[in-house]
Amino acid sequence: MPSNTISLLIPDGEAPVLMIVLNCLSEIKGIKIHVMSDDADIPMKHSKKVFKFYYRPKTESASDYINNINAITENHDIDLIMPIFEDSIRLITKYKDLITVPNKLALLPSHSNFEKAIHKGTLINYLKTLGLPYPKSQVFTQGTTPDLSKVNYPVLIKPIESPGGGVGIKVFKDAPEFLEFLKSNDSKGDYLVQDYIEGYDIDCSVLCKNGEVLAYTIQKPNMFGGNKFAPQISFKFVKQDDIINQVKTLMKSLDWSGVAHLDMRFDKNAKNFKVVEINPRFWGSVEASLFAGVNFPHLYCLASLNKTFETPNYKLIDFMLLKGLVKSIKKDKTQLLKLNFIFNNTPIKYILKDLKPTIYRTSLFILRKLKL
């Protein structure tokens, strides 16, 4: 294999961020992308960006999963194993000793620090010990009641084990409304009870190695999906020294290796930025960072292969995800005429360059509808 070619295995092809990670990697010549998935019907298996696709049925055994990774790595001369979403990262960090060639693993945090970052309650306690700003919070588990004397209204609650996308997040404006929720069946499960912060959301994406930030972007949302807790679908890249300094302190303390996306919020009363949660994997707007000048998946490969690079400077652009573009066009049909913006500030060009996955995805959708 030529020295300038990287053979890369993504072992969690069913991850919702696969398409955008592939779009970023497709900008770099010489990367052969192998994709393993427990879903035989993922649309991206038809992408010309995928060199080879492997379907491996899901089992309850972690060793089966690791053995599948080991077999593909050995049989297909894989240079780098790069999980992209939390389920796979969790398994691989936990059972790293079962990987036959651990030196081929992409940069990953320790399992304990991964769990510390992803668990909302644990993270809040950790931020407290570091002395970093955080939303006043308390955890309550099913069958228990939070200390209402410590609750300030409006109050926000979110599931400890959230599926993401803002699912399960609720805000209550007063005590009667909150108490009514606590008495209902909807309150079953483990929740984080948190002061609702008056202010605005802002996010920081990072690539780290041994606690050092190698690359980052900061973006401020200006449009969300179905509700204000849903993922951002349009935003502007910004510079903010207060944020990156705070993030560097946190990542250093965690000795973080790999990528992460930090959800933060500016507290307009306290006049500071608070870390709300850490997503210890690739995120939905990673493609946007590419347009701004930071190709996180490619830099992740380079850093994992011990290649050095200068911390990239990113452009302060506006960007819309496809959902944002559709929403914008629905509001104002003249947005269709802004072709320069559409091709340079949205990911539409990647769909046009690689139509097979979209056609396959649409066909599956139509077939499911016909069966209803």
Output the domain CATH number for residue 299.
3.30.470.20
209/328 same-domain check: yes
Identify the CA nearest to 31 among candidates 6, 3, 1: 6
- Please give the tally of structural domains in the chain: 3
Is residue 274 included in any domain, yes or no? yes
Q: Quick one: pLDDT band at residue 363, thresholds 50, 70, 90? A: confident
Is residue 237 included in any domain, yes or no? yes
**What domain range includes position 46?**
6-107
147/43 same-domain check: no
277/205 same-domain check: yes
Is residue 140 included in any domain, yes or no? yes
Is residue 1 included in any domain, yes or no? no
Last residue of a domain, one of 154, 176, 195: 195
84/143 same-domain check: no
CA distance 290 to 20: 10
29/80 same-domain check: yes
pLDDT digits (tens, 9 = 90+) for 317-334: 999 998 889 888 988 888
Q: What's the CATH code of the domain at 87?
A: 3.40.50.20
Residue 38 token pair: 């427990």
CB neighbourhood size of 284 (10 A) = 19
221/340 same-domain check: yes
Where is pLDDT greater, at 86 or 358? 86
pLDDT of residue 265: 95
* pLDDT at 315 > cutoff 80: yes
pLDDT of residue 114: 98
Is residue 227 included in any domain, yes or no? yes
157/92 same-domain check: no
Q: Quick one: pLDDT band at residue 163, thresholds 50, 70, 90? A: low
Question: Cis omega before residue 16 (within 30°)?
Answer: no
Is residue 177 included in any domain, yes or no? yes
CA distance 29 to 9: 16
pLDDT of residue 372: 61
pTM of the model: 0.92
159/207 same-domain check: no
204/337 same-domain check: yes
Phi and psi at residue 221, to the nearest 5°: -65, 145
326/222 same-domain check: yes
Mean pLDDT of 295-318: 97
Is residue 352 included in any domain, yes or no? no
CA distance 246 to 251: 9
Quote the percentage of the chain above a pLDDT of 90: 70
236/298 same-domain check: yes
Where is pLDDT greater, at 337 or 126? 126
* pLDDT at 58 > cutoff 90: yes
Q: Quick one: pLDDT band at residue 38, thresholds 50, 70, 90? A: very high
Alpha-helical segments (H) within the chain: 18-25, 62-75, 86-94, 111-118, 120-130, 175-183, 241-253, 286-292, 296-304, 322-331, 339-344, 348-353, 355-371
- The single-letter code of the amino acid at 295 is N
CA distance 87 to 118: 11
| Candidate from 155-159, 243-247, 268-272, 277-281 with smallest mean pLDDT | 155-159
Can you state the percent helix, strand and coil of the chain, rounding each to 5?
Answer: 40, 25, 35
Q: What's the CATH code of the domain at 145?
A: 3.30.1490.20
pLDDT of residue 139: 85
pLDDT digits (tens, 9 = 90+) for 167-202: 778 899 998 888 888 877 666 778 888 989 999 999
pLDDT digits (tens, 9 = 90+) for 128-159: 999 999 998 888 877 677 777 788 899 998 88
Q: Quick one: pLDDT band at residue 229, thresholds 50, 70, 90? A: confident
Q: Quick one: pLDDT band at residue 366, thresholds 50, 70, 90? A: confident
Q: Are 115 and 280 in contact (CB under 8 A)?
A: no
| Candidate from 107-116, 223-232, 253-262 with smallest mean pLDDT | 223-232
Quote the percentage of the chain above a pLDDT of 70: 95
**Chain mean pLDDT for the chain:** 91
155/239 same-domain check: no
Mean pLDDT of 62-69: 97
Is residue 351 included in any domain, yes or no? no
pLDDT of residue 2: 41
Where is pLDDT greater, at 339 or 212? 212
Mean pLDDT of 229-242: 90
